[in-house]
Chains A and B, each alone.
Chain A
């Protein structure tokens, strides 16, 4: 139900229009971080205020929304954001990836392949991939403008020098459409290949940093690497302890305080579906 005192999806129409303009620009220039006038949201920074604003701007009454946090539909962040949109817009929600038209996500891309009819909205804490190497915003903007991305390689070099391999496992930098290097938000690098040539529109919102960027459908996304240390995704030496899948991203779960652990799918919807199939 619409809460009577709020506009549809919380934000007023002017704000949504401003955000949609930023989104259009972001889609037109893939990977480029478009500044936007991020609003105060009724939740703290770090809870996905950027993603929530993007979702609010693109949401229509006919949409079906799915919200995930670390792949799961039932964790705090996902539950609160889903409830927020149910309360302020009254749209239908689902946990099934293929039934959703908009999926807002924190830290994962669903295992089920996305389609052209879907939009994936990422919550981004730090949109600037160069930030840890170059603290000055003026300088990072010039570096993006002039395609000076050598320093990104310095970070990967440093990984190999210190750990013998590229030790960056999440927020793994990638180049979009042969132009902009971008931070795909803290998704595991396991998910980086899914960014490439994806049929769905992928939108990224950073609320505190006031940036929106996008990967349009079927866009080339290449993870950075070295010729002699190519990009690799994580692998596990065992299947999911619940559904037995060998092709999904696994979370380690501690089961007691005596060193007991199990590895299970982080995508709860995918895991439940696999169980049904094998049952």
Chain B
């Protein structure tokens, strides 16, 4: 079987400055990959290149479509790429305000993707939105509230619902638990783990928090200064880190 996502020698430079360099990996359907590293190590640049938000300077990304054919992202027209981004893919931003349409209600946020792919029946859109709010543990009575009236954790869950409503196959997450307090983080991680398993979602999660990587991912990649310095099964990397930087990272986790 073709891997869902196949990345070959991906690099991005900002003028003379390096974003990321020579990144290659494969992602199977239903697999969760964590990308960890410190701030400025190129994690987010890599994620934005993979998800088509940024144009890579070198290398290529192959994506296996539902019909089994692999397409190179750079070869897709803008219309096809944008279609992919709002049907087959999802993107969960660290700051929910970037990922949500803050000016409209929660229900409209969830329904937007449906309407973008042609849903024109208000009743159906609304019941689907209610259904999804319940799945992400938001009270359905709050469907007409503005996301401004939501707490940080709720906004993040709303963002997830908004992305999952078109049953995507691949979801990108940029620090999904950043800025949330620990108990809310734990609930959110639990929710994401459940959804990923239930819908057989593949996910690429960027995080600086090793605990997030451990809970969500089956495989992880460690980045430093734009390069991948270590990859492997999550447990293996965390239990027996090989690269000096990874050892440092693992040993610097605060123990309570």
Taking Cβ atoms with an 8 Å cutoff, the residues of A that contact B are 133, 142, 146, 148, 150-151, 153-155, 157-158, 160-162, 225-229
Contacts and interface: CB of A to CB of B under 8 A. Distances in A.
Given A226-B122, A227-B121, A161 B105 contact: yes
Contacts of A157: 104, 107-108, 111, 115, 122, 125-126
A134 B111 CA distance: 17
A161 B116 CA distance: 18
A154 B101 contact: yes
Nearest to B111: A157
- The SS class assigned to the B binding surface is helix
B120 interface: yes
A153 B115 CA distance: 7
Interface in B19-58: none
Contact of B108 (A148, A154, A226): A154
Interface residues of B, number: 24
Given A142-B78, A153-B120, A158-B105, 18 more contacts: A133-B103, A148-B116, A150-B115, A150-B116, A150-B117, A151-B112, A153-B115, A154-B101, A154-B115, A161-B105, A161-B107, A161-B108, A161-B126, A225-B120, A226-B122, A227-B122, A228-B121, A228-B122
B123 interface: yes
B144 interface: yes
B109 to A, nearest CB: 8
Contacts of A160: 122
B123 A228 contact: yes
A196 B82 CA distance: 31
A161 B123 CA distance: 10
A160 B112 CA distance: 14
Nearest to A225: B120
A162 B105 contact: yes
Nearest to B121: A227
A158 B78 CA distance: 28
B82 A148 contact: yes
B121 A150 contact: no
Contacts of B78: 142, 146
B248 interface: no
B254 interface: no
Contacts of A150: 112-113, 115-118
B79 interface: yes
Interface in B62-121: 78-79, 82, 101, 103-105, 107-108, 111-113, 115-118, 120-121
Contacts of A142: 78
26 contacts: A142-B78, A148-B82, A148-B116, A150-B116, A150-B118, A153-B115, A153-B120, A154-B104, A154-B111, A154-B115, A157-B108, A157-B125, A157-B126, A158-B104, A158-B108, A161-B105, A161-B126, A161-B143, A161-B144, A226-B122, A227-B120, A227-B121, A227-B122, A228-B121, A228-B123, A229-B122
